[in-house]
Amino acid sequence: MSSHTIDELIADNGVRGRYVLVRSDLNVPLDGATVTDDGRVRASLPVIGKLAEAGAKVIVMAHLGRPKGQVDAKYSIAPAANRLDELADFDVAVAEDVVGDSARQLAANLEEGSVLVLENVRFDARETSKDDAQREEFAKELAALTGQNGAYVNDAFGAVHRKHASVYDIASLLPSYQGDLVATEVKVLKTLTEAPKRPYVVVLGGSKVSDKLAVIDNLLGKADQLLIGGGMAFTFLKAQGFAIGSSLLEEDQIATCQEYLQRAEKLGCDIIVPSDVVVASKFGADAEHEVLAADKIEEASFGSNGLGLDIGPKSAELFASYITSANTVFWNGPMGVFEIPAFAEGTRTVAQALADSEAFSVVGGGDSAAAVRALGFSEDDFGHISTGGGASLEYLEGKTLPGVAALEG
Ligand code: ADP
Ligand code: MG
């Protein structure tokens, strides 16, 4: 089954004067009200722009952070929407609510070729509700903003793994189309699952350990090497019997890691965990830190309570050499706390190896993408930088993505 594209939407009857509700991914990192990485805004721009150019009245729905179903100024969509406005050559208005008076009034007065961004859809608890009826009610209110002849476009790859009202339920209420960003992302991920050129190396890191462990299960039989850095490395080290001080640990996943290590051996897939790590006295830029062997984390000069915040230089070089010999690489999750320069080297070494390699490379994950940009790499150095961390992982786990499936058939 396949979905309709926005080119079809534009070609079919034209969209001039027609309302198009677009679900975009504007979930950018903020420092106060400053967007610290606008990658997702820029990735959302082409589809919004194409529709505006074709004369549609574009209403953008997006979320930012996890405001827990209530209005919370800290999670206002405004900084992301303002960034969109700066980048765009069309008008962008921002509603003060999601489906309230402000949204309805601005929508009703929207001009052809103009864009309205609704306030954070997660300010309404029905967006993420587990109750189908509540989500559907919210989806109906969103759809109602489009009047009689609206259409829906999902271009929010970062949210397609969520069964949420603006991602999933709304697709059954309006003629629905797949945005170009979602189409590109799905196409790239398909090449990673269907016929990756070998050697196929998967690099995993970051801090959401249990989220990411699940993907290993499905990749064990597919990848040639799994390189494990970031926070999850420490649960693996613990599973191998090492003492890890106060490093990130998911106690209840130790047995899972042990099982993965055993299964990997049987399947001929290598799981490579760091042999050395950068251990810090505390979490912070002013921490003391030293490089220690992975089995000596508790022997730091400042005491046994240290935290591993990066992979060590030997591990980074080893990871880089695997990447250099690979023909396909998928990377999700920074190797360390790259936001602090002292713990950014592992991530930098891996990113450099990937940038230099001829392999087909995909970088997934919001922070991973932010890391390569923050460390000064050009996006062109990588085959594809995915806007969706969780979504790309779930796809690689072999799961159906509700937001993609809802557009099909
Ligand atoms: P992504 O968004 O790319 O999927 P995550 O959100 O899972 O990645 O993780 C990114 C975060 O992981 C970064 O903010 C980084 O500081 C943190 N991180 C990486 N390594 C460690 C570690 N060893 N201990 C604690 N946090 C870590
Ligand atoms: Mg993240």
Give the pLDDT confidence of 175-224 residue by residue, as tens digits: 999 999 999 999 999 888 888 999 999 999 998 788 888 889 989 988 99
- 340 three-state secondary structure: coil
Q: Quote the pLDDT of residue 21.
A: 98
Q: Quote the pLDDT of residue 409.
A: 63
Q: How far apart are CA 233 and CA 147, in angstroms?
A: 51
Q: How many CB atoms sit inside 10 A of residue 173's CB?
A: 18
Q: Quote the pLDDT of residue 78.
A: 98
- The DSSP letter of residue 5 is B
Q: Quote the pLDDT of residue 79.
A: 98
For the chain of 409 residues, list the mean pLDDT of each consecutive stretch of 10: 90 89 96 93 97 97 96 98 97 97 98 98 98 98 96 97 97 97 94 91 91 87 95 96 97 95 94 98 97 98 97 98 97 96 98 95 89 91 89 90 92
Beta strands in 281-342 (DSSP E): 289-293, 307-311, 328-332
* pTM across the whole model: 0.86
Pocket of ligand 1 (CB under 6 A): 205-208, 230-231, 248, 308-309, 332-334, 336-337, 339, 365-368, 389
Q: How far apart are CA 338 and CA 29, in angstroms?
A: 15
CA of 366 to the centre of ligand 2 (A): 5
Residue nearest atom 9 of ligand 1, based on CA coordinates: 206
Ligand 1, residue 339: give the atom nearest the CA.
Answer: 16
Structure tokens at 162: 């969520």
Q: Quote the pLDDT of residue 365.
A: 86
Structure tokens at 371: 């890391």
Q: How far apart are CA 109 and CA 111, in angstroms?
A: 6
On whether the CB atoms of residues 218 and 263 are closer than 8 A, the answer is no
Ligand 1, residue 393: give the atom nearest the CA.
Answer: 4
Residue 181: how many CA atoms within 13 Å on its side-chain side?
A: 31
Structure tokens at 312: 């060590």
CA of 95 to the centre of ligand 1 (A): 33
Q: How far apart are CA 142 and CA 152, in angstroms?
A: 10
The candidate with the shortest Cα–Cα distance to 135, out of 124, 145, 147, 146, is 124
On whether the CB atoms of residues 158 and 44 are closer than 8 A, the answer is no
